[in-house]
A = this chain, B = another copy of it.
Amino acid sequence: MTEARFTLLAADGAARLGRIDTPRGEIRTPAFMPVGTAATVKAMRPESVRETGADILLGNTYHLMLRPGAERVARMGGLHRFMNWDRPILTDSGGFQVMSLAGLRKLDEEGVRFKSHIDGSEHHLTPERSMEIQRLLGSDIVMSFDECTPFPAEEGEAAASMRLSMRWARRSRDAFGDRPGHMLFGIQQGSVFHDQRAESAAALRDIGFDGYAVGGLAVGEGQEAMFDVLDYAPGMLPEDRPRYLMGVGKPDDIVGAVERGIDMYDCVLPSRSGRTGQALTRRGAVNIKNARHQDDPRPLDEECGCPACRSYSRAYLHHVFKAGEIISSMLLTWHNLHYYQELMQGLREAIGAGRLAAFVAAFHARRAEGDIEPL
C-alpha cells in the first residue's frame, strides 16, 4: 500500500468514526496524538506509548529544526527511526511555536524570521522551508504553514491573518508536491467569525488537501467560545477528509469536540500533568502531591488497567513525587496517556454503536461524582 486515505465508518449525530490508512499503519479516529516534541514523548519509551493505545504521535517542527536539526534527523534515517517509533507521525508546521516568540520574530509575506531560543541562531521559516523540514523528518501527516491568529483579534486583523494563511496554504500545497503515502493537511483560520471560517474553508477546499485542521482555537477563548465555533466550522470542511483540532485538550474539550465532528486531537496536557503530579482520571484530576494520599493504599483509579494503577498505591505515587523521583513522571504520564486512549476508545465504540449521547452523559456524571473519598 502506498496511498494514505481516510475512511468514514460510522456517524452518530455530527460525531464520526473513521480510519486513516497509511503505509506505516492505521489511525483509528477519533484519535488522540501524544506529543513527542523533541523526538520523545517525555518520560515514556515509545513501546510504552504504543501500549497505551496510541496509533500516531505528534512531532514539533520548531523544536526539531533547532535541535537536533532536520537535516541531521534525515541523515539518521528520519524521525521514525531516530526516535524508535515506526507508526505514523504528524508534524506541525512550526508556525505556532514561532509566532509565540514575541519580540524575537519578524513576520512578512514571505514567512517568519526568528532567533533560536536555544542558541540565538537566526532562522527563516517559510511555507517552502516548513514543507522541506517536514519531508526531511519523514512525517506521514504534514501540516501547512500558517499563522495561528491570536485571540482576541479584531475582525479586520483576523481576516488579514486568515488570508495570509490561505496564501501560505497554497504555497505549502505547491511545495509539498506529490508524495504518495504522505498526507498534507490544510488549516482553517478565521478566529470566532463565521464568515471568515467559511471563506477560509472555501479557500482550502479550492486548493485541496488530504485533511483539514480547525486552527486558531484553544488559544485562550475558553471552552464555550470554542464549542460555539465548533458548532459550525467542522461542517464547512469536506466530509470525506479527517478533521483535526490542534492543541486540544482537556478530556471534556475532546468529548465536546468529538460530538461536533472532530476526528483528531493533540495536547501536551496528559504528559505535562504527569510530570507535575496531576493524574487525569474518569473522576477528574487528582493531585498526587496532596498529603491526603500519603497513607492511601488504593490505586489512582481502581478501574484503570495502566501499570501505575495495576501495581502502585497512591501512597507510593505520593512518595516518589515528593522525593522528586523520575519514576513519578514515568508512571503518571503513562497513566494519563492510558486514560486518554481509553477515553478515545470509548468514544469510538459509542459512535460505532450509535450510543454517543449515553456515553457522554455517563462521562459527565462520573466526573461530577468527583475523586474517590479520602480513607
Contacts and interface: CB of A to CB of B under 8 A. Distances in A.
Interface string A35-55: 000111011110000000000
Copies per assembly: 2
Interface in A53-98: 67-68, 72, 75-77, 82-84
A307 interface: yes
A45 B38 CA distance: 23
Interface residues of A, number: 36
A307 B45 CA distance: 10
Contacts of A241: none
A72 B38 contact: no
A330 to B, nearest CB: 7
A330 B334 CA distance: 14
Contacts of A39: 316, 319-320
A323 interface: yes
B327 A295 contact: no
A121 interface: no
A176 to B, nearest CB: 26
A276 to B, nearest CB: 13
Interface in A311-338: 311-313, 315-316, 318-320, 322-323, 325-327, 329-331
A297 interface: yes
Contacts of A313: 76, 82
29 contacts: A38-B323, A38-B325, A39-B316, A39-B320, A40-B320, A40-B326, A43-B327, A43-B330, A44-B327, A45-B327, A67-B319, A67-B322, A67-B323, A68-B294, A68-B318, A72-B295, A72-B315, A75-B295, A75-B297, A76-B297, A76-B315, A82-B313, A82-B315, A82-B316, A84-B311, A84-B312, A326-B326, A326-B329, A330-B330
Interface of A: 38-40, 42-45, 67-68, 72, 75-77, 82-84, 294-295, 297, 307, 311-313, 315-316, 318-320, 322-323, 325-327, 329-331
